[in-house]
Chains A and B, each alone.
Chain A
Amino acid sequence: MSNLFALLAGLLFGLGLDLGGMTKPAIVLGFLDVAGAWNPQLLFVMAGAVLTTAGGYVLVLRRSHPLLDGNFRLPTTRNIDMPLVVGASLFGIGWGLIGYCPGPALASLAAASPKTFLFVATMMLGWWLGERLTRRCA
């Protein structure tokens, strides 16, 4: 049952990415190109997403636990530390180079482009590497 809802959530997410234009790197880069022909589309996507999630979370997190699990798994780290800053910086650079972040990149695998495969492959390598790095320095 959990897996079915996870699938549904992924599907909804992917549809949202499409409507938001996020599976088109040019639109994302257009949002980041503040000095050029700026495209504010992503701003509206973020606003819609954050507001909906904020409202939904308020309602959902009132419960003692999720419907299909014993616990809510919310991040417990609170402090703003070096890994957060360094990580966000590296991610931002990678994002600005192509216009892909994890969600759109994975969804775009549906188009079976070798370029997307390459990006996703190195992204997965990066996840693996990142985990090794954080474990070593922990």
Chain B
Amino acid sequence: MNVFAISALGGVLIGLSSVLLMAMLGRVAGISGIAGGLVSTRASGDRAWRVAFVVGLILAPLLLLALRGDNGVASPDAGLLKLAIAGLLVGVGTRIGGGCTSGHGVCGIARLSPRSFVATTIFIAFGIGVVFAVRHLGWGGQ
């Protein structure tokens, strides 16, 4: 199988996960929402399933390590300040914007949500813009 077919298969698994979560728990598989809900200051009696989901996420590379000797994870190539700022932006942005690549990009678009189409277009555009600026305009001293 070529890499694009495998990638598509990966997408199908993500889709199956989303469908499973909706079928069983009635929840959108938006990671920023699921995990973000764990740090929410609102008193929440529904933390357990969120923890379970995130545990599942983290278990996946460990399972892969056991099965094929490789957890498939690569370390980001960036300094500490860049990592910290990027993390903050991703956190604040996904919270304010109400979703991320899974919540808006997959689940929202799958539901034909206009909000999600707009959000996805915007964050992909900015992602492309930043990479262009860093790699081709020399921003950030790269």
Contacts and interface: CB of A to CB of B under 8 A. Distances in A.
B58 A119 contact: no
B8 interface: yes
B11 A48 contact: yes
15 contacts: A2-B25, A7-B55, A9-B20, A50-B105, A57-B22, A73-B27, A89-B126, A90-B92, A93-B130, A95-B90, A95-B127, A98-B83, A116-B75, A118-B80, A125-B88
Contacts of B65: 110
Interface in A55-96: 56-57, 59-61, 65-69, 71-75, 77-80, 83-96
Q: Is the interface of B mostly helix, strand, loop or mixed?
A: helix
Question: What band does the interface of chain B fall in when counting residues whose beta carbon is under 8 Å from A?
Answer: 35 or more
A121 B126 contact: no
Contact of B76 (A35, A72, A106, A115): A115
Contacts of B64: 15, 18
Among B13, B98, B109: residue with most chain A CB under 10 A: B13
Given A10-B17, A52-B12, A91 B59 contact: no
Nearest to A74: B28
Contacts of A133: 92, 95-96
B97 to A, nearest CB: 2
Contacts of A131: 36, 39-41, 95
Interface string A98-118: 111111011111110101101
Question: What band does the interface of chain A fall in when counting residues whose beta carbon is under 8 Å from B?
Answer: 35 or more
Contacts of A72: 22, 26
A54 B18 CA distance: 10
In the complex, the 4 A-B pairs of residues with the closest C-beta atoms, listed nearest first? A126-B91, A87-B97, A10-B56, A48-B11
B103 to A, nearest CB: 9
Contact of B89 (A11, A26, A94, A111): A94
Interface string B93-116: 111111011101111111101110
Given A23-B72, A25-B76, A90-B97, A14 B56 contact: yes
Given A32-B128, A80-B118, A101-B101, A127 B11 contact: no
B4 A97 contact: no
A22 B95 CA distance: 21
B74 A48 contact: no
Contacts of A7: 52-53, 55-56, 59
A56 B15 contact: yes
Given A84-B119, A93-B89, A9 B56 contact: yes
Nearest to B133: A96
B14 A128 contact: no
